[in-house]
Amino acid sequence: MSEISILPEFLINKIAAGEVIERPASVVRELIDNSIDASAKKISVEILHGGKQLIRVIDDGEGMDRKNASLCFERHATSKIKSEDDLFNIFTLGFRGEALPAIASVSKVTLITSQPDSPNGTKIEIRIGYERLITDAPVWRGTCVEVRDIFYNTPARRKFLKSVSTELSHIIDVVTQKALSYPEISFSLIHNGRDIISVPEAGSRRERFIQLYGEELFNEFFDASEEGDGIKLYGFFSFIEFARATRNYQYIFVNRRAVKNPTVSHAVYNAYSGLIPKDRHPAFFLFLDINPRKVDVNVHPAKREVRFDSPEEIHKLITSSLDKNLSKGSPVTMMQDTPSYEWTETRGPFAVHDSGPVFDSAGFQTDILTYGAVPHARYFYIGESFIAAITEGGLTIIDQHAAHERILYEKFLKKTSVEVENLLFPARIELPVREYNVIMDNKKLLHDFGLDFDEFGLNNVIVRALPRELLKADIKGLLLDIASGILEEQGTGKEKLIHTTAARLACHKAVRGDEGLKQDEITRLLSELEKTEMPDRCPHGRPTRIHFSIRDLRRLFKRE
Ligand code: ADP
Ligand code: MG
């Protein structure tokens, strides 16, 4: 047995940093938390190269005197709790005394802090995690922390960092979350000298929401509030027709901390269930203020999770508040009348065979159709997204949305077959900051798909040309969809991004499930589907059509 030794302080901090500091955005979050805990009214974040090169957070908070400043990099040094009882009654964002030593162990840190009535400010430079140089600094009110070359001494972790735009988007997310939960504080974020976020102090959460996302997005939400025993709920929730394709806009704040929480998410989905399609997601910004004794915030090193004393109570409060509001209805109704059934005989592209279905390893039917002769087919719009094609040899059910997605997807991938048209009037589109950055960062990729646009002032783009297929699209919705696709795939490589973007473009324009197509449109759709490389699946892997041969029917009716 080798000998046991107690690890040196520096190494302990470095190990702890593994849990607390995952990426530049974690540093930004911890430093903003400290500024908020110091009662700052104004917090500025400046970063270079996605925070890989520099993160500087400046606040106008209480600052520290020389004694406290020289203690704050010690492990477990905190001014926020003193006793065990405090741990169960936490009103601050920090309390573990871990962030500054953890940050200092994996980067080059300089802290400058001052209190207005002290004779001197203090500057502390830390190198190699423990060497400290303490000097005088000018007197002012507040603190500035500069973090350079994150993970410079942990090459494996430095290598793990993603592209500048990915790291930047995580930072934007952190600053946005903080700005949402602290409307009374003004926030700014500057990246490589460019203003990314700039929001002055706001009078309410609603005002802050509009500062960050604009009126247009705000109109897609209703707000709801509810009170229970020691719990206050407030939130913005998307009207049902603005449910989204992704989980992108789902924020939960518990006592002003952004967290993930399955109980809360489940309660929201529960309230929306049956009101929105199964593959759509509600967008929500939900703020819960709870008596700190009823919630444990000390369950995750980066404080991203919480544990409620009584989850059922929270679940009930959210569901009942949303039930009331969702049943009030929204400006537009979702359901459309199902068109009446209509039989028409027409020539179709289908031939069928009688050898029974074959499934591949993923469980998809691979022999959905075979082609030789072109017999007569009858098309029949069943309702929702489904068309039935009935031939002498059996029955094929086609999901028209999935089929159209496949056709457009392949068209977009083969860029040569996309015709680009100039818009009659260039469209100026304002985007939320994170989406704006993603769109601008991927300008070349989108240009290759036929989207021609340029920067047009803060968080605005001007769109000049689009692929012909997309001319009638809601351009803002399209850009938001593309951005959310790219955000989900960040770091997965260019090839994946190209496919995801093509799938988003296709999905955006594909005929909606509930649109009843005319006979000639169905014929065109099905014959174009035949010409695609993978006519049996949509770009997301769902089947576009399912065939029942006579033999399948015999089996289903237990005649075999
Ligand atoms: P924690 O926030 O959990 O207490 P940190 O390591 O983040 O631990 O910070 C240690 C201490 O340094 C804090 O408790 C606080 O007293 C002080 N401190 C850190 N940042 C600031 C700041 N921006 N303004 C004033 N005091 C600060
Ligand atoms: Mg802290």
Query: 198-224: per-residue pLDDT in tens?
Result: 999 999 999 999 999 888 888 889 999
* 68 vs 491, residue with greater confidence: 68
Pocket probe for ligand 1: among 13, 19, 26, 37, the residue whose CB has the most ligand atoms within 8 Å is 37
Residue 327's SS3 state is: helix
Q: What is the mean pLDDT of residues 511-518?
A: 69
Asked if residue 142 has its Cβ within 6 Å of ligand 1, the reply is no
Query: Which residues crowd ion ligand 2, with CB under 5 Å?
Result: 34, 94, 99
* 513 vs 237, residue with greater confidence: 237
Amino acid of residue 84: E
Asked if residue 62 has its Cβ within 6 Å of ligand 1, the reply is yes
Among protein residues, the one with the nearest Cα to ligand 1's atom 20 is 34
Residue 74 — pLDDT band, cuts 50, 70, 90? confident
Residue 348 — pLDDT band, cuts 50, 70, 90? very low
Q: Which two tokens stand for residue 312?
A: 């059922």
Asked if residue 75 has its Cβ within 6 Å of ligand 1, the reply is no
> What Å distances lie between residue 521 and 90, 341, 346, 518, CA to CA?
63, 16, 12, 5
- The answer, as to whether pTM is greater than 0.75, is no
pLDDT at position 367 is: 35
- CA 47 – CA 53 distance, rounded (Å): 8
- CA 310 – CA 92 distance, rounded (Å): 22
Model confidence pLDDT, tens digit, residues 259-298: 999 999 999 999 998 888 777 899 999 999 999 889 988 7
Question: Is the pLDDT score of 146 beyond 60?
Answer: yes
Ligand 2 centroid to 98 CA: how many Å? 7
* Number of the ligand closest to the Cα of 72: 1
Q: Which two tokens stand for residue 297?
A: 């915030």
pLDDT at position 333 is: 29
Question: Is the pLDDT score of 375 beyond 60?
Answer: no
Question: Is the pLDDT score of 4 beyond 70?
Answer: yes
Ligand 1 centroid to 78 CA: how many Å? 6
Among protein residues, the one with the nearest Cα to ligand 1's atom 18 is 34
Burial (CB count <10 Å: 0-12, 13-18, 19+), residue 215: exposed
Residue 517 — pLDDT band, cuts 50, 70, 90? confident
8 Å CB contact between 489 and 502: no
pLDDT at position 238 is: 93
The residues near 513 (Cβ < 8 Å, ≥ 6 apart) are 277, 384, 385, 399, 400, 401
Q: What is the mean pLDDT of residues 46-55?
A: 97
CA angle 552-553-556, nearest 5°? 85
Q: Report the DSSP pairing between strands 42-48 and 186-191.
A: parallel
pLDDT at position 45 is: 98
pLDDT at position 338 is: 27
Backbone angles phi, psi at 287, to 5 degrees: -115, 120
pLDDT at position 1 is: 67
- CA 76 – CA 170 distance, rounded (Å): 27
Residue from 239, 245, 244 nearest 327 by CA = 239
Burial (CB count <10 Å: 0-12, 13-18, 19+), residue 541: exposed
Q: Which two tokens stand for residue 484?
A: 């959310």
Asked if residue 60 has its Cβ within 6 Å of ligand 1, the reply is no
Name the β-bridge partners of 388. Answer: 380, 397
> Closest ligand 1 atom to the C-alpha of 98?
6
Question: Is the pLDDT score of 382 beyond 80?
Answer: yes
Question: Is the pLDDT score of 368 beyond 80?
Answer: no
Ranking 59-73, 509-523, 533-547 by mean pLDDT, the lowest is: 509-523
8 Å CB contact between 345 and 314: no
pLDDT at position 472 is: 79
Asked if residue 72 has its Cβ within 6 Å of ligand 1, the reply is yes
Ranking 94-103, 145-154, 326-335, 475-484 by mean pLDDT, the lowest is: 326-335
Asked if residue 69 has its Cβ within 6 Å of ligand 1, the reply is no
Ligand 2 centroid to 32 CA: how many Å? 8
Residue 371's SS3 state is: coil
Residue from 523, 527, 427 nearest 471 by CA = 427
Ranking 11-15, 40-44, 114-118, 285-289 by mean pLDDT, the lowest is: 11-15
Q: Report the DSSP pairing between strands 284-290 and 250-254.
A: parallel
Asked if residue 432 has its Cβ within 6 Å of ligand 1, the reply is no
Asked if residue 35 has its Cβ within 6 Å of ligand 1, the reply is yes
pLDDT at position 175 is: 97
Asked if residue 13 has its Cβ within 6 Å of ligand 1, the reply is no
* Number of the ligand closest to the Cα of 141: 1
Residue 151 — pLDDT band, cuts 50, 70, 90? very high
- CA 329 – CA 273 distance, rounded (Å): 14
Question: Is the pLDDT score of 331 beyond 60?
Answer: no
Q: Which helix (H) or strand (E) holds 383?
A: strand 376-383
DSSP state of 491: T
Question: Is the pLDDT score of 246 beyond 70?
Answer: yes
> Closest ligand 1 atom to the C-alpha of 101?
6
Q: Spell out where 440-484 has E strands.
A: 452-455, 460-467
> Closest ligand 1 atom to the C-alpha of 143?
23
Asked if residue 79 has its Cβ within 6 Å of ligand 1, the reply is yes
Asked if residue 26 has its Cβ within 6 Å of ligand 1, the reply is no
8 Å CB contact between 237 and 282: yes
Question: Is the pLDDT score of 393 beyond 90?
Answer: no
